[in-house]
Structure 1
Amino acid sequence: MKKFLLLAITGLFSTCIAKSAVQSDSLLKVLKSEIARKKIYDHQKDEQIATLRQKLNTQQSIGLEARYFATLGLFEAYKDYRFDSTFHYARQLVHISGMLHDNRRLAENRLRLGTTLISSGMFKETFDCLREIDARLLDRQLKKSYYVLYSWAWSDLSKYNADRFYAPEDLEKKFRYLDSAIALTEKGSFEQLILQAQQKPNVGPHPSGYYMKLMNRKLSEHEEAMVVTGLSRYRTGDEKVRLLAIAAINDVRTSTYRAQALLDLGNTLFEQGKVDEAYFFLQQTMEQANKFGARMQRYQVARMLPVVAAKRDMLAKQERQRFLIFIACVIVITVITGLICFIIFVQLKKVRAGERVIRESNRLLAQKNKQLWEEGRIKEEYIGFFFSELSRHIIKLDKLRNNVQRKVKSGSIDEALRQLDNVDIHAERRQLFHTFDRIFLKLFPDFVEAVNAMLSNEDQLRPKQPGTLSTQLRIFALMRLGVNNNEMIAAILEFTVNTVYTYRFRLRSKALVPADDFEQRIMGIQLAGD
């Protein structure tokens, strides 16, 4: 009887495992199918955003209140879709709140701005944003959001540090703020349960219990993705793959690019030895991170992809070796016939096709590495440039201060004033632009020629002096460095936003290439030595 019971339990367990494996494989196929349809979902999202943007444009002149709610709608539409647009509308909400003199909305929108910043891995900026908020002035709802954001920021910082010294302290702060947030949530609410699931280990029931309670509720696709992603951390094997696949499917269908499920799925499949599947989903994660602008996720994927690619390459080589050994054995054992030659030819053709796929994948990786190298070199040059400029100005100000002090102490006030009048701000700015031009043209010596190649002879931009840039060229130089925001460009060059927009529009309209491709080709101009 005992033996029969043991066999029955073993059979039931094996059946459950097999069923879970079939479900996970089926869901992975569904996920790949949904990824292939991603452009359709994104198009639907873009149409929704276009409608909201049109609403904002029509309400610009109605009043600040209508403009506020139209901007809020765009923020909500963008917040899981594009970082740069989310950041722009979050700043707009802060600005409008200030114009309305509404302190509650101002605090609420600073929290929105902080949430946007941390979603892209901008830790310092997030903490700076939080420090601007006086928690004593917040009501219960905003204080809860305030604590949640602090907890999120410390949690992500601990993952980024990932060391023995800073990470434990960061985690302790995360749990402290999390407990404060939980105390302000409504009992039994979705928000309370999902926060309780993230509590410090050994505090309260097991975290998976909270997620299971949430699974029994009616959830939206986005909420379901959050819950199953959290629950997957407490599952293993095919069950973990199944949960992460569900989360990733929901993320794709809702055009949610600020999500963790695809990254966790790729890592889990790699741990299970499913290297090809892991490589595919990690590539999709990198595309997702690049499209949203998530620095933290991009950093995590950039660490994993080379490891998975190397493993994939090694397995491919092992597969080729096994194949060659098999062919050698066949040749030794059997008579070389036309049939065997045909089989060998077909198999070798498959191997070469696999090599081409690997070469293409390596080429894509090389492009990503090249992009990271470009960004690093640009940052290196311009960090040195700004430190040099700051040092020069500090020395100059110090000399001016000493001279003026001596004149004042000696009673020569008029001479001191004349010396101050000799400070030529316009000359300093010209010098700053000249240095900017020199360093930029050092990085991109062919920039002027590349831009002019897209313009007709009469519209080409000619700098007044060799080694410098004209005003229009300087605007597009800043864009090539990654500064795409018109407001930021205007602040750097001391223009109005309308002036910057006009310059960009005029040059695009004069270009020989399609207007939509003009700025993309500007971004494709290569660094020196590429």
Structure 2
Amino acid sequence: MKIILYALIALFFPVKAMCYNTADSLLKVLRSEIAKKAVYDRQKEEKLAALRNKLSNSIDKKDKYDATLALFEAYKDYRFDSTFHYVQQLINLSTLLHDGQKLAENRLRLGTTLITSGMFKETFDCLKATNSHLLNPEMKQSYYVLYSWAYSDLAKYNSDRFYAPQDQNKKFIYLDSAIALSKTGTFSRLILEAQRKPGAGPHPVYYYLKLLKRKLSAHEEAMVVTGLSRYRTGDEKIRLLAIAAITDIRTSTYRAQAMLDLGNALFEQGKISDAYYFLQQAMGQANKFGARLQRYQVARMLPVVAAKRDILAEQEQQRFVIYMVTVMVVAVIAGLISFIVFIQLKKVRAGERIILENNRLLAQKNQQLWEEGRIKEEYIGFFFGELSRHIVKLDKLKNNVQRKIKSGSTDDALRQLDNVNIQAERRELFHTFDRIFLKLFPDFVEAVNNMLPEEDQFKPKATGTLNTQLRIFALMRLGIDNNETIAAILEYTVSTVYTYRFRLRTRALVPADDFEQRIMGIQISGV
């Protein structure tokens, strides 16, 4: 019986192709699989229901025993309470069958079940009550492995300077006894040797790499890769643990360590948000299974990670406040400059209005940058560039005008102000907007046209550009839904914007109430 031996390491079945994926891509896959967790659990429940039905239809004691054993195996990584129930039934059936060997075997199963929930005393009581003389060599090996496992988890739980080293020492003593009962060169022998006390033999990586050279089953390969992850760092460690966690989700394995180890590893790398998310998932797994030790371990880490996350959020908020103050100072300075020019030279009022309008547009674009920056990262660079360019131009214009005014060349100052081509600036702004938007949404025009009859479909004048109506809906897709805001950005009246929106809703091939919702559903490139 290899159940206790294999329980030392998280059970999972990775697809070999996944081994070549990057850590970041595997984390995305893991998040996607977590979202489908209910689907996998439903499949698991269907299998369990079939096994329960088989048990209810069993009449013979032997058949009942086999059906109960199948249910125990199906529940052992899924639910502690159900696993405990069926292992108790196995013990009762072993007694009724008067089979001492089966009774000893099922006491080991009971011990395995108890240790998965962190019930150390009960596990040791169960081991003491097991008649080891009735066990064959393979069973006795599992007996020693369970002792080693129990002392290992007890050391993790105590985590002190006095008892933990003693527990660790006993762990290695029982592990050596298990190794002595295993055959040289076998998978179980090598996997156990990889767990030995440091310095007692070759480095554990030696055994894992040696095993990887063999032809292994998916399960055996998963065990080796999981063990290897404990001796890897950085993205390689994240990648291996992500593979394990993905398989845990797909197989509805809730008695698992991979998600907890993944959260801890991400925290060590400074990826606080990811660490907090996956530690929460680990807590959910522990709660669903009923694993007390894992719940304790996660409960110790979550407050630490949450505190770190709050600190980073506060720092980010401070940076935001500093940035907004800087923008406000720039806006105030620009306003003062405009006011001075207005007082000193009434003849340049037209130029002053242009400056004030530019300042208003810059502030508006800056605010829009922060509102949309959460979902449109490309636009951060765009608006920063526009802000910087206009401020530099404004500063240069201010210096030139002041210099010419101080020298008495007011006509030259007026001519320089007249040279400011607002329309050209706006065309360039729209061209840049179109380019960046279509980079994010290359299929936007096609998606809109698919919802319109052929005679109302849009055909932009040039590739990579949008027309006025498309820009209205592009702004909506970026989260700007207010007609007044859209009209201000595109310099149209509110009624014009409303008319464009209403006209397209009524002519669309889809229901009018769904048209703008489907516009919002157009996906960013790569999603």
> TM-score over 0.5 for the alignment?
yes
In structure 2, do the counterparts of structure 1 residues 143 and 249 end up closer, same or farther at CA, with 3 Å as the change threshold? same
Match of 1:195 among 192, 195, 199: 192
Q: Is the Cα contact below 8 Å between 1:225 and 1:250 reproduced in 2?
A: no
**Is 2:149 aligned against 1:155?**
no
Distance 1:308 1:234, change over 3 A: same
Q: Deviations over 1:424-472 (max 9, x none)?
A: xxxxxxxxxxxxxxxxxxxxxxxxxxxxxxxxxxxxxxxxxxxxxxxxx
Corresponding residue for residue 366 of structure 2: 343
Q: Distance in 1 between matches of 2:36 and 2:215?
A: 26
Superposed displacement of residue 273, structure 1: 0.4
User: 1:37 — aligned with what?
Assistant: 36
Q: Match for residue 309 of structure 2?
A: 312
Equivalent residue in structure 1 for 2:298, among 296, 301, 320: 301
1:340-379 correspondence runs (5 A): 340-344=363-367, 347=370
5 Å-filtered alignment, 1:470-485, equals none
Cα drift, residue 113 of structure 1: 0.4
Would you say the 8 A contact 1:225–1:248 is kept in 2? no
Radius of gyration: which is bigger? 2
Within 2, Cα distance between the matches of 1:21 and 1:222? 18
Question: Is the Cα–Cα contact under 8 Å of residues 145 and 174 in structure 2 kept in the other structure?
Answer: yes
Instruction: Structure 2: state its 5+ residue gaps.
Output: 1-18, 335-358, 375-527
Q: Which amino acid aligns with 2:54?
A: K
CA distance in 2, matches of 1:259, 1:159: 16
Question: Partner residue of 2:22?
Answer: 23
For 1:216 and 1:56, locate their aligned partners in 2 and report how far apart those are by CA, in whole Å. 41
Find out whether 1:325 has 2:348 as its counterpart.
Answer: no
Deviation at 1:264, TM superposition (A): 0.6
Distance in 1, Cα, partners of 2:218 & 2:57: 32
- Of 140, 143, 146, the match for 1:143: 140
Q: Distance in 2 between matches of 1:41 and 1:250?
A: 11
Alignment of 1:265 onto 2:262: yes
Q: Which amino acid aligns with 1:24?
A: A
- Measured against aligned partners, the alpha-carbon deviations of 1:469-516 in whole angstroms (never above 9, x if no partner) come to xxxxxxxxxxxxxxxxxxxxxxxxxxxxxxxxxxxxxxxxxxxxxxxx
Question: Structure 1 stretches of 5 or more lacking a match?
Answer: 1-19, 352-530
User: Measured at CA, do residues 38 and 217 of structure 1 come closer, stay the same or move farther in structure 2, by a change above 3 Å?
Assistant: farther
Q: Which one of the candidate residues 185, 206, 209 is aligned to 2:206?
A: 209
Q: How far apart in 2 are the matches of 1:136 and 1:91?
A: 22
CA displacement at 1:218 relative to structure 2? 4.6
The normalised TM-score by structure 2 is: 0.60
Is the contact made by 1:24 and 1:245 (CA closer than 8 Å) also made in structure 2?
Answer: yes
Matched, 1:132 2:129: yes
For the 8 Å contact 2:104–2:132, the answer to whether it is kept is no
Alpha carbons 1:52, 1:73 under 8 Å: kept = yes
Q: Call closer, same or farther: CA 1:292–1:221 in 2, change over 3 Å.
A: farther
Amino acid at match of 2:370: Q
In the alignment, structure 1 residue 100 sits paired with structure 2 residue 123 = no
Query: What secondary structure is seen at the aligned counterpart in 1 of 2:185?
Result: coil
Which of the numbers 162, 165, 178 marks the counterpart of 1:165? 162
Moved more, 286-295 or 214-223: 214-223
**Aligned positions of 1:114-125 closer than 5 A:** 114-125=111-122
**For the Cα contact (< 8 Å) 2:78–2:254, is it kept in 1?**
yes
2:250 counterpart residue number: 253
* Structure-2 residue corresponding to 1:53: 52
Distance 1:265 1:155 in 2: 20
Structure 1 285/295 Cα, relative in aligned 2: closer, same or farther at 3 Å?
same
Query: Whose relative contact order is higher, 1 or 2, with alpha carbons under 8 Å and at least 6 apart?
Result: 2
How far off its partner does 1:117 sit? 0.3
Give 1:349 shift. 8.1
Deviation at 1:330, TM superposition (A): 2.3
| Separation in structure 1 between the aligned mates of residue 218 and residue 117 of structure 2, nearest angstrom | 22
Within the alignment, does 1:229 sit opposite 2:215 as a pair? no
CA distance in 1, matches of 2:127, 2:43: 34
Q: What amino acid is the match of 1:235? A: R
Aligned-partner residue type, residue 164 of structure 2 = A
Partner SS state of residue 337, structure 1? helix
Aligned-pair identity (%): 67
Q: What TM-score, normalized to structure 1?
A: 0.60
State the Cα deviation string for residues 175-214 of structure 1 (Å, max 9, x = none).
0000111111232222222111110000111001112223
Q: Deviations over 1:395-427 (max 9, x none)?
A: xxxxxxxxxxxxxxxxxxxxxxxxxxxxxxxxx
Determine the C-alpha separation between the residues in 1 that align with 2:247 and 2:20.
20
Indicate which of 108, 112, 119 corresponds to 1:111: 108
Corresponding pairs, count: 331
Deviation, structure 1 residue 21: 11
Q: Whole-Å Cα distance in 2 between the matches of residues 279 and 332 of structure 1?
A: 37
Displacement of 1:223: 3.8
Q: Counterparts of 2:61 and 2:109 in 1: how far apart (Å)? A: 19
Q: Which segment drifts farther, 20-29 or 92-101?
A: 20-29
Amino acid at match of 2:208: Y
Structure 2 partner of 1:385: none
Q: CA RMSD in A?
A: 2.0
In 2: Cα distance, 1:322 partner to 1:267 partner: 27
CA deviations over 1:290-346 (Å, ceiling 9, x no partner): 111100000000111111111111111111111111122222235452442353366
1:299 aligned partner, one-letter code: Y
**8 Å Cα contact 1:21/1:238 also seen in 2:** no
8 Å CA contact retained: 1:222, 1:254 = no
C-alpha distance 238-191 of structure 1, shift in aligned 2 (>3 A): same
- Taking a change above 3 Å as real, the CA distance of residues 252 and 310 of structure 1, as seen in their structure-2 partners, is same
Cα pair 1:224 1:247 within 8 Å, conserved: no
Equivalent in the alignment of 1:356: none
Give the whole-Å Cα distance in 2 for the aligned partners of 1:43 and 1:203. Answer: 46
Matches within 5 A, 1:61-76: 62-76=59-73
Letter in 1 for 2:320: F
What is the distance in 2 between the residues matched to 1:78 and 1:220? 22
Q: Which amino acid aligns with 1:297?
A: Q
Instruction: Tell me the distance in 2 between the aligned counterparts of 1:221 and 1:340.
Output: 59
CA distance in 2, matches of 1:65, 1:151: 32
Alignment partners' CA distance in 1, 2:328 and 2:107: 73
1:177 maps to which residue? 174
Q: Structure 2 CA distance, aligned partners of 1:35 and 1:218?
A: 31
| Within-5 A mapping of 1:488-507 | none
Amino acid at match of 2:49: A
SS at match of 2:78: coil
Cα 1:260–1:225, aligned 2, differ >3 Å: closer, same or farther? Answer: farther
CA contact (8 A) 1:182 1:192 kept: yes
Flag the 1:184–1:88 CA change in 2: closer, same or farther, 3 A.
same
Q: CA deviation at 1:222?
A: 4.4
For the residues of structure 1 that align with 2:308 and 2:206, how far apart are their CA atoms?
36
Q: How much has 1:228 moved relative to structure 2?
A: 2.2
